[in-house]
């Protein structure tokens, strides 16, 4: 899914073709009404890609679903336009996936542009961890709630089953998508990957992290500095809580969850726009 990703999209598409290895790759770019000409430049540079152009910004999940439904390959590889494959091949990743028949989703090692490790594979937090991460995280990233949620202390050099992996780069089994469903379009942005992985695990599939491929991701390129996206993040986390946590008596916590997430959005927004 592309939205005003500039030259990053060219590097993203180029890295996908370069890393194909012995895999047969069909690249589709779903553009959400970008105004920077990035999709057109990518199409000119790589005429073999299939470009799907939307007339509005449909969000990450809905746009990704368009790309998924446009193909019929056994495996779907999703890569954010601001991400670039740095090492490893799609051929090797596919081989690994086929050797793990219980896994429906595979995530890979992700680094920030400065080379630091990004915790792309995480656990689904407990209620206490979620609240602590939401309220303390904006002030102090190195807190015990955030460390637990991001599985701090694991260097991501080993293969491991996890609760969820980042949608910025994931390989997904199409047969599992056909059974479980693709991304939930009610998540405009954020948490749609955690939701998909949760539904996969509930259906009996595994979610696997592997360091077999490494990706550099310039996080939030298209949303950086956007106040709307701060609130969309809170709405998505609330939607996830409502969908997966709030069962039976736990629904009584919904107003508290919304208050916590509203406070987080207000805090982050104020800190971002503070003169």
Q: What is the pLDDT of residues 208-243, one digit of tens each?
A: 999 999 999 997 665 665 788 889 999 999 999 999
For the ranges 40-44, 67-71, 139-143, 180-184, the lowest mean pLDDT is seen at 139-143
Say if 62 falls within a structural domain.
no
- What are the tens digits of pLDDT across the range 251-270? 888 888 899 899 888 888 87
d(CA 129, CA 135): 10
CA 21 to chain CA centroid, Å, is: 24
In the structure, what pLDDT confidence band is assigned to residue 160 with cuts at 50, 70 and 90? very high
Coil/strand/helix, residue 174: helix
Say if 37 falls within a structural domain.
no
Dihedral sign computed on CA atoms, order 201, 237, 153, 80: positive
Say if 267 falls within a structural domain.
yes
d(CA 29, CA 39): 8
Q: Pick the residue with more confidence: 251 or 30? A: 30
Eight-class DSSP state of 123: P
Average pLDDT, the chain: 92
| C-beta atoms surrounding 127 within 10 Å | 14
Say if 262 falls within a structural domain.
yes
Domains in the chain, number: 1
pLDDT at 225: 59
Q: Pick the residue with more confidence: 198 or 226? A: 198
Say if 106 falls within a structural domain.
no
Say if 271 falls within a structural domain.
yes
d(CA 64, CA 1): 6
Domain that holds residue 275: 225-275
pLDDT at 37: 96
Say if 249 falls within a structural domain.
yes
Say if 258 falls within a structural domain.
yes
Parallel, antiparallel, or unpaired: how do β-strands 103-111 and 28-32 relate? unpaired
């Amino acid at each position: 899914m592309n939205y005003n990703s500039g030259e990053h999209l060219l590097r993203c598409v180029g890295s996908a073709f370069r890393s194909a290895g012995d895999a047969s790759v069909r690249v589709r770019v779903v553009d959400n009404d970008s105004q920077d000409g990035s999709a057109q430049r990518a199409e000119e540079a790589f005429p073999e890609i299939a470009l799907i152009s939307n007339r509005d910004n449909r969000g990450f999940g809905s746009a990704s679903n368009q790309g998924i439904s446009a193909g019929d390959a056994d495996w779907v590889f999703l890569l954010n336009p601001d991400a670039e494959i740095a090492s490893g091949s799609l051929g090797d990743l596919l081989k690994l996936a086929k050797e793990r028949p219980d896994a429906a989703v595979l995530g890979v090692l992700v680094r920030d542009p400065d080379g630091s490790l990004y915790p792309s594979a995480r656990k689904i937090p407990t209620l206490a961890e979620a609240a602590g991460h939401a309220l303390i995280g904006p002030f102090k990233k190195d807190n015990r709630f955030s460390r637990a949620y991001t599985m701090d202390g694991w260097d991501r050099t080993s293969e491991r089953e996890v609760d969820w992996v980042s949608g910025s780069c994931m390989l997904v089994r199409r047969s599992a998508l056909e059974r479980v469903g693709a991304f939930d379009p009610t998540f405009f942005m954020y948490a749609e990957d955690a939701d998909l992985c949760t539904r996969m695990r509930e259906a009996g599939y595994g979610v696997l992290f592997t360091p077999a491929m490494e990706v550099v991701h310039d996080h939030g390129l298209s949303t950086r500095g956007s106040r709307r996206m701060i609130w969309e993040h809170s709405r998505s986390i609330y939607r996830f809580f409502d969908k997966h946590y709030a069962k039976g008596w736990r629904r009584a916590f919904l107003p508290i969850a919304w208050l916590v997430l509203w406070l987080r959005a207000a805090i982050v927004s104020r800190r971002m726009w503070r003169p």
